[in-house]
Amino acid sequence: MKKNIKTKDRNLGERGSSKINHNAYVIKAGKKTLAILGFPTDSVDIIFAQDSVMRDIKFATTGIRKRVVNVLAFEEPREFPHPERKGFMGEVYLNGERYSKDREYMTFLLIHGILHLAGFRHNGRRDTIEMQRMEQMLVLCVTKKEIYKNKRTRTCNARIITR
């Protein structure tokens, strides 16, 4: 069976927790998410990074300065050749320093990042609502817990149609 999630700890030991307490749980959730979305053999790199690294990457790629950056997702360019990695979707950076002890929130952030790699956006109100419904459904499928209270999605429907 092909391992479809790779993880890297970037600069995590310099400040804050030197260990990701729940990364195995988060990786398993990532595999489930990819399978539910219809990408069971595709791969995603998960990078756990420090606050400062997340802010630097956000500024370098968008020109926007933010105090806290939770998650960043970068799609693999279609024209970039990867003969050794067919089905590589991209990278998801998670703020491992700030959220390493909260596995449910780290799972939510990973699902959010994977949805971006699958083509979902939150540019407008309609896109945001659609993405939040997908997040709710996936979090419920993967963790059996609800987010976004008072929303319509209350069951896990594993037959999700992707973009």
- 157 inside domain: no
Tell me the pLDDT tens digit for each residue of 71-126: 999 998 877 776 666 788 899 999 988 887 888 889 999 999 999 999 999 899 99
| 83 DSSP assignment | T
Note the pTM of the prediction, 2 decimals. Answer: 0.77
d(C-alpha 112, C-alpha 71), whole Å: 8
- 41 inside domain: yes
- What is the extent of the structural domain holding 110? 5-143
Q: How many separate domains does the chain show?
A: 1
- 163 inside domain: no
- 78 inside domain: yes
- 87 inside domain: yes
Q: What is the CATH number of the domain that holds 61?
A: 3.40.390.30
Please tell me the predicted confidence (pLDDT) of residue 159. Answer: 47
- 154 inside domain: no
| C-alpha torsion sign, points 25, 144, 97, 71 | positive
Task: Write the CA distances from 96 to 18, 26, 39, 75, 133, integer angstroms.
Answer: 10, 11, 25, 20, 25
- 132 inside domain: yes
Give the model's confidence band at 146: pLDDT under 50 very low, under 70 low, under 90 confident, else very high. low
Task: Write the CA distances from 147 to 24, 41, 67, 96, integer angstroms.
Answer: 21, 27, 24, 20
What is the pLDDT averaged over residues 11-17? 35
Identity of residue 109 = L
Please tell me the predicted confidence (pLDDT) of residue 18. Answer: 36
| C-alpha torsion sign, points 91, 119, 149, 155 | negative
Tell me the pLDDT tens digit for each residue of 19-54: 445 678 888 899 999 999 988 888 899 998 999 999
Tokens 């939510």 belong to residue? 108
Select the more confidently predicted residue: 135 or 152: 135
